[in-house]
C-alpha cells in the first residue's frame, strides 16, 4: 500500500464516480485530498465524510472549463496545505451524444471546454508549482476513445485524443524536471456516465451489459498505482485497465479471467 501521508492531491470531478472513489481511496492512504467539482454541496459532504473517518479532505468549487476557477483551485490547495503533490485531471462529460451532423455546435464546443481545455488549464496552473518543488504527478483521465472511433462520440473521442496529446507533450516538456505526467484509460466504469451512454442507445458501448463495467474503486486503485514510482514505465502514455498487463500491475482481476 502506498503511503501518501503529507501529500496533497487535487482531484477534479470529485463529486461522484471515479473522482469520488479516488478521493476516498487516496485519503485512506493518508493524503490530504482537495475535492473539486461544480456541485459544492456534494463535494463538501464527501469531504466531511472523509474527515469523519479520520482523513484529511478539503472541498473547493471549480468548473474546469473556466481558467480562473482552475487557477483558483490550485491557489486554494497551495494556500491551505502549502503543496500540490499530485493533480488528478478527472472531470469529464460525454453528453449530448449525437452524430456529427445532428450535433449542436455550442454543446460540442462545451465538451471541448471541459474535457480538453479543462485538462490544459490543470496542467498550466499546477506544473509551475510542481517545478518549484522539483516534483509532482499529474494523472489525466483518458479513455479508449482517445484512440478509437465510436458513432455519436466525435466530441468525446476527439477531446480524449487531445488529452492523450497533452499527456505526451507535458511529459516531453517536463518529464526530465521531476514532473510525472501519465494518462489513464479505465475501460468502462459503473458511473453516471455509463447510464447516460446506455440511454443514448447509439453505439455498441451503449448496449454493453452493466456486468461489463468495472467499479470506480478499481480505477481509484489504478490512480494509486500511477502515483507510485513503480508505474514510471508508463509515463507519457495512457496506462490501460483494459489489458491484463495493466490489471496485473494494479493487482486487479485479469480481463481474461474476469
Q: Which residues of the shown chain bind ligand NJP in the complex (CB under 6 A)?
A: 12-19, 37-39, 62-65, 90-93, 114, 141, 143-144, 185-186, 188-189, 191-194
Residue placing its CB nearer to ligand NJP in the complex, 40 or 131:
40
Q: How far is the CB of 94 from ligand NJP (least distance, A)?
A: 6
**What does the block give as the cell for 169?**
507533450
Residue placing its CB nearer to ligand NJP in the complex, 132 or 208:
208
Residue placing its CB nearer to ligand NJP in the complex, 2 or 196:
196
Q: How far is the CB of 98 from ligand NJP (least distance, A)?
A: 17
Residue placing its CB nearer to ligand NJP in the complex, 131 or 151:
151
Q: How far is the CB of 87 from ligand NJP (least distance, A)?
A: 13
Give a three-class secondary structure readout of the chain: CCCCCCCEEEECCCCCHHHHHHHHHHHHCCCEEEEEECCHHHHHHHHHHHHHCCCEEEEEECCCCCHHHHHHHHHHHHHHHCCCCEEEECCCCCCCCCCHHHCCHHHHHHHHHHHHHHHHHHHHHHHHHHHHHCCEEEEEECCHHHHCCCCCCHHHHHHHHHHHHHHHHHHHHHHHHCEEEEEEECCCECCHHHHHHHHHCCCHHHHCCHHHCECHHHHHHHHHHHHCHHHHHHCCCEEECCCHHHHHHHCCCCCCCC
Q: How far is the CB of 107 from ligand NJP (least distance, A)?
A: 13
Residue placing its CB nearer to ligand NJP in the complex, 103 or 147:
147
Residue placing its CB nearer to ligand NJP in the complex, 208 or 254:
208
257 CB-near residues (< 8 Å, 6+ apart): none
Q: Is 174 a catalytic residue?
A: no
CA atoms within 13 A on the CB side of 128: 8
Q: How far is the CB of 157 from ligand NJP (least distance, A)?
A: 11
Are the CB atoms for 84 and 74 separated by under 8 Å?
yes
Q: How far is the CB of 116 from ligand NJP (least distance, A)?
A: 11
Are the CB atoms for 215 and 170 separated by under 8 Å?
no
Catalytic residue among 120, 121, 156, 174: 156
- Please identify every residue annotated as catalytic: 156
Amino acid at each position: 500500500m502506498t503511503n501518501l501521508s503529507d501529500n496533497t492531491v487535487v482531484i477534479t470531478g470529485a463529486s461522484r464516480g471515479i473522482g469520488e472513489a479516488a478521493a476516498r481511496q487516496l485519503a485512506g492512504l493518508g493524503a490530504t485530498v482537495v475535492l473539486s467539482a461544480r456541485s459544492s454541496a456534494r463535494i463538501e459532504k464527501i469531504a466531511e465524510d472523509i474527515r469523519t473517518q479520520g482523513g484529511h479532505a478539503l472541498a473547493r468549487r471549480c468548473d474546469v472549463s473556466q481558467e480562473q476557477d482552475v487557477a483558483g483551485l490550485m491557489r486554494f490547495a497551495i494556500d491551505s496545505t502549502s503543496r500540490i503533490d499530485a493533480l488528478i485531471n478527472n472531470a469529464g462529460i460525454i453528453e449530448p451524444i449525437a452524430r456529427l451532423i445532428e450535433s449542436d455546435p455550442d454543446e460540442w464546443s462545451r465538451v471541448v471546454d471541459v474535457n480538453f481545455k479543462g485538462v490544459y488549464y490543470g496542467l498550466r496552473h499546477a506544473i509551475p508549482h510542481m517545478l518549484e518543488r522539483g516534483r509532482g504527478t499529474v494523472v489525466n483521465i483518458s479513455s479508449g476513445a482517445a484512440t478509437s472511433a465510436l458513432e455519436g462520440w466525435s466530441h468525446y473521442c476527439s477531446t480524449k485524443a487531445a488529452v492523450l496529446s497533452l499527456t505526451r507533450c507535458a511529459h516531453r516538456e517536463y518529464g526530465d524536471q521531476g514532473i510525472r505526467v501519465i494518462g489513464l484509460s479505465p475501460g468502462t466504469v459503473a458511473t453516471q456516465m455509463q447510464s447516460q451512454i446506455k440511454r443514448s442507445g447509439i453505439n455498441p458501448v451503449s448496449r454493453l451489459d452493466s456486468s461489463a463495467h468495472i467499479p470506480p474503486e478499481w480505477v481509484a486503485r489504478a490512480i494509486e498505482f500511477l502515483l507510485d514510482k513503480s508505474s514510471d514505465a508508463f509515463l507519457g502514455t495512457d496506462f490501460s485497465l483494459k489489458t491484463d498487463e495493466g490489471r496485473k500491475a494494479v493487482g486487479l482481476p485479469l480481463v481474461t479471467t474476469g
